[in-house]
Amino acid sequence: MPPVSRHPLTRALVTRTPLARGIIDRFVAGPSDTDAIAAVAGLADLGLLATVDLLGEDITRAQDAADTLLAYLGLLDLADRAGIAAGLDVSVKLSALGQAVPRDGRKLSYENAAELCARAAAANATVTLDMEDHTTTDSTLDTLVELRRDFPFVGAVLQAQLLRTETDCRDLATAGSRVRLCKGAYREPSAVAYQGRPAVAAAYARCLGILLTGSGYPMIATHDPALLNLAGRFAEHVGRLPATFEYQLLYGVRPGEQRRLASTGATVRVYVPYGADCVPYLTRRLVERPTNLLLAARALRSRAWDAAGLGLWAGLGLWAGLGRGGPGTRRAWDYGRAWDAAGLGLWAGLGRGLVGRGTERATGRSRARGDRTGDGSGRA
């Protein structure tokens, strides 16, 4: 079974079901650069900064990497003309700029990234190199070092779940160094990563302490209430001024918390993804990390998520029942394959639930016309 983000059924459910667009619209700014700019402008009206990410990865052709670069340059041009480029950050994966292109991928991705950084510098914007799975960490950090020779504003991303990250935090917590700390959105083996939510949260807290006591510019990327509270208290304890660090939260997730943090005087930046290739991003954020799925459910508060939950667990049960050796053997419970099946169940549930929600609304309106004494049970 291919990864759920690349499964044809997943793509069909997400991209061809009209009502499922509500999920995409919540967490993705839209398919075009004009959608991204509109989202950035809307956030600015709320006192929030933005980092914009053109969705797309796993590029293996030089022409596709060139197309991605042109799209980013066009985004910066559009932001410049709209008067919102200054202070804007651009997040980019080196794989999207050609890192995985055979033979010259690393050189190609560096050259493309350097051209993007030059355009960002001209617009008073910044660039942050997104981190991917652990196999690319060294090459990404090597490229970061090279880019910073000419563009010291280039930001790094570190994933707290990796065993190596505390050391990387110490290396990067230097003057002027922008470092985004996230938990990590990729499934990683126990040989290189902490396993389980408590262990990852503890690792995040340790890394946070290293960055906040260093001389760099920490970018605290988490939605975990306990870690957000810890970050605020620790920053105050070590005398960090609000202008010397920032919080980063995902577009569409806990918008009330984003505004609350900003109202305290904190610098808050929202990670705004856009582009047509949204399925891998949504799957990684909402399926392969169950905690993000719960955040999404709380954010939407939709009955569609009830059906999605049933689909999720049905997918898990289906895989366990049909997997190798049956549900009674240990080897059948392979987490990666289980989540692949769960992902298909999730998207199927979303589609079913959202269709049901539309039907329920229509039925509710019909009932309301004939019975004005009801309790509103027909509303979603």
Respond yes or no: is residue 324 known to be catalytic: no
Q: Is 371 an active-site residue?
A: no
Q: How many CB atoms lie within 10 A of CB 63?
A: 10
Share in percent of the chain as helix, strand, coil (round to 5) = 60, 10, 30
8 Å CB contact between 28 and 19: no
Between the alpha carbon of residue 9 and those of residues 3, 6, 29, 184, 313, the distances in Å are 11, 9, 23, 26, 17
- Are the C-beta atoms of 185 and 227 separated by less than 8 Å? no
Is 315 in a helix, a strand, or coil?
A: helix
User: What gap in Å lies between CA 342 and CA 316, rounded to an integer?
Assistant: 5
Which entry of 180, 269, 352, 357 is annotated as an active-site residue? 180
Catalytic residue among 130, 269, 285, 340: 130
Q: Which residues contact 94 (CB under 8 A, 6 or more apart)?
A: 109, 113, 129, 130, 132, 136, 139, 140, 143
Name the packing angle between helices 335-370 and 304-322 (round to 10°): 150
Residues designated as active site: 130, 180
